[in-house]
Amino acid sequence: MSAAASGMYSVHIAGHGMVSAYCDMDTDGGGWTVLWSTSGADDEEPFTSDTAVAVGDTTPLAGGAFNIDRTQKALFAARPSETLIRRSDTAWLRVSHAPVPPVFGDAAIHPLRRTYPVTIAAANGLVVVTATGSMGVSTSSVSGGGDFSVSLEPVTSHGMHASADLVNTGCSNQLVWSYSSAQADSDGKYGSSVSMGSWSAQGTCDGSEGGGVAMTVAVRELAQGACGGSSWCCYFCCVSSVRRWVCVVVGMRCSCVVPSLSSWMCLSFTCSLMLLFRLLWRT
């Protein structure tokens, strides 16, 4: 049985029904729901933007610009989740927290600023290296950037400029920064000032417009999700029903949100199959 391909899917969110989402089924086992992507060009929507940008001729995984609104970002990140920041199949960061709070879609709470202590994992060839650090999101004083950050140390607010919140002086120790104060027009370019594993330092933290680094931000529900943590359930049930139920799957990892009936069917099928294998093995 082949793995599901990356692309647009209908995803079921409890209490909200079916919504469309772009799913990354390739990076680090797949199962990621893409929230935002930038090509690095000037005048693109920042990560915290509430303006939706549809998938264009260039897909998010190929470096195309893409964005979903704040309400959908909050919905996809509402369950315990981890974050993917991706530049390619081999250059990515996996962070142990959702990138936005569950209230992110509520206009009344903006401007906001949230930072989280996190564990950061980075691809490094055939292995993964880890470190502790901080991830933050801000909609407060970000016309010059600083709306999203992943760093190896807590970020000093407005370290580079009063219009750029989550930016250290010189963007130091930031695996992901956003900074473009030359024109405070809320489209800061993104880059990295430090390497970790295959994630190299890229971009110039000089406040200029354009010339940013293409990257994607996505979320994936943690393994104890709606499929009950059963990889066999995911593989045999979710993949086979991907177009009937939800966007799911990923190799042998379950990251889908499945309606209760589907979960029951999935569990019944898995248990029956395991029982059959056991009986055959004994004979």
Show the low-confidence residues of the chain (pLDDT under 50): 1-2, 224-264, 267
- Give Cβ neighbours of residue 30 (< 8 Å, ≥ 6 apart): 3, 4, 6, 23, 24, 249, 250, 251, 253, 255
Region for 228 from its dihedrals, namely left if φ exceeds 0, alpha if ψ lies in -120 to 50, beta otherwise: left
What is the per-residue pLDDT across 123-164, written as a single tens digit (0 to 9) for each? Answer: 999 899 999 999 999 999 999 999 999 999 999 999 999 999
pLDDT at position 249, please? 35
Q: What is the pLDDT of residue 212?
A: 95
Whole-number percent of the chain with pLDDT over 90: 65
Question: What are the tokens at 91?
Answer: 């250059």
Per-residue pLDDT reduced to its tens digit, 41-71:
999 999 999 999 999 999 999 999 999 999 9
Q: What is the pLDDT of residue 268?
A: 52
Residues 6+ apart with CB under 8 A from 49: 36, 67, 186
Cβ atoms of 92 and 81 within 8 Å: the answer is: no
Q: What are phi and psi of 34, to 5 degrees?
A: -80, 125
Distance CA(250)–CA(29), nearest Å, equals 5
d(CA 100, CA 9): 22
What pLDDT score does 256 carry? 39
